[in-house]
A and B are shown apart, each in its own frame.
Chain A
Amino acid sequence: MTPEQAELWQKLKYFEMDDVKSSLPFSARLARGNGWTLDFALRAVDEYKKFLLLAATLPRPVTPSDEVDQVWHLHLLYTRSYRDELCGQILRKPLHHSPTRGGSTERSKFNDWYNYTLTSYQITFGHAPPKDIWPPAEIRFRLINFIKVNADTHFIIPKKHWWLLLKNQLKRLWRPRS
Chain B
Amino acid sequence: MAPALVNFKMLSSLTPAESLVLLHGKEADFKRMLKLTLMDLLLKKVLAIKPIPAAGHDEAPTVNLYVQRGKHYADYRPFAHEEIYTGYFSREPNREILLANLIKLAHGKAANPAYLRQQVMKTPQLLTAFERGFWERLMDKVKYTEEGALKRTYAATELQELTHLLPDLYYMDKATAKKLLQLLHGNLFLTEAINHHLLVLLDDELSRLFERERTSDNNNDLLYMTDGFDFDSSFDNGFGGSSDDGDSGCGD
Binding site for B on A (CB under 8 A): 11, 13-25, 27-29, 37-39, 42, 55-56, 61-64, 66, 69, 72, 78-81, 83, 85, 87-91, 93-100, 106-107, 109-111, 113-114, 140-141, 144
Write out the residue numbers on chain B whose beta carbons fall within 8 Å of the beta carbon of A141: 251-252
- Contact between A24 and B224 (Cβ–Cβ < 8 Å)? yes
- Contact between A64 and B56 (Cβ–Cβ < 8 Å)? no
Interface string of B76-113 (1 = CB under 8 A from A): 00000000000010000000111011001100100000
Write out the residue numbers on chain B whose beta carbons fall within 8 Å of the beta carbon of A110: 249-252
B54 in the interface (beta carbon within 8 A): yes
Cβ-closest chain A residue relative to B216: A23
- Distance between B51 CB and nearest chain A CB, rounded to angstroms: 11
B171 in the interface (beta carbon within 8 A): no
B74 in the interface (beta carbon within 8 A): no
Give the contact-size bracket for chain B. Answer: 35 or more
- What is the CA–CA distance of A144 and B104 in the complex, to the nearest angstrom? 31
- Contact between B52 and A100 (Cβ–Cβ < 8 Å)? no
B248 in the interface (beta carbon within 8 A): yes
Write out the residue numbers on chain B whose beta carbons fall within 8 Å of the beta carbon of A69: 250, 252
- Contact between B64 and A16 (Cβ–Cβ < 8 Å)? yes
B230 in the interface (beta carbon within 8 A): yes
Cβ-closest chain B residue relative to A28: B104
- Among B61, B228, B230, the one with the most A-chain Cβ atoms within 10 Å of its Cβ is B228
- Contact between A98 and B247 (Cβ–Cβ < 8 Å)? yes
- Contact between B57 and A81 (Cβ–Cβ < 8 Å)? yes
Write out the residue numbers on chain B whose beta carbons fall within 8 Å of the beta carbon of A39: 88, 105
- Contact between B249 and A98 (Cβ–Cβ < 8 Å)? yes
Tell me whether A20 and B61 are in contact in the complex, defined as CB-CB below 8 angstroms, given that A14-B55, A64-B250 are known contacts.
Answer: yes
Write out the residue numbers on chain B whose beta carbons fall within 8 Å of the beta carbon of A27: 101
Residue from the list B54, B98, B239, B250 in contact with A98, Cβ < 8 A: B250
B75 in the interface (beta carbon within 8 A): no
- Contact between B58 and A80 (Cβ–Cβ < 8 Å)? yes
- Contact between A99 and B58 (Cβ–Cβ < 8 Å)? no
Residue from the list B98, B220, B247 in contact with A61, Cβ < 8 A: B247
Write out the residue numbers on chain A whose beta carbons fall within 8 Å of the beta carbon of B220: 23-24
Write out the residue numbers on chain A whose beta carbons fall within 8 Å of the beta carbon of B224: 22, 24
- Contact between B54 and A95 (Cβ–Cβ < 8 Å)? no
What are the 6 tightest A-B residue pairs by CB atom distance, in nearest-first order?
A110-B251, A94-B239, A16-B56, A95-B246, A19-B57, A20-B100
B238 in the interface (beta carbon within 8 A): yes
- Distance between B217 CB and nearest chain A CB, rounded to angstroms: 10
- What is the CA–CA distance of A117 and B84 in the complex, to the nearest angstrom? 34
Write out the residue numbers on chain B whose beta carbons fall within 8 Å of the beta carbon of A111: 251
Interface string of B38-81 (1 = CB under 8 A from A): 00000000000000101111111100101000000000000000
- What is the CA–CA distance of A99 and B252 in the complex, to the nearest angstrom? 6
- Contact between B59 and A63 (Cβ–Cβ < 8 Å)? no
Write out the residue numbers on chain A whose beta carbons fall within 8 Å of the beta carbon of B105: 38-39, 42
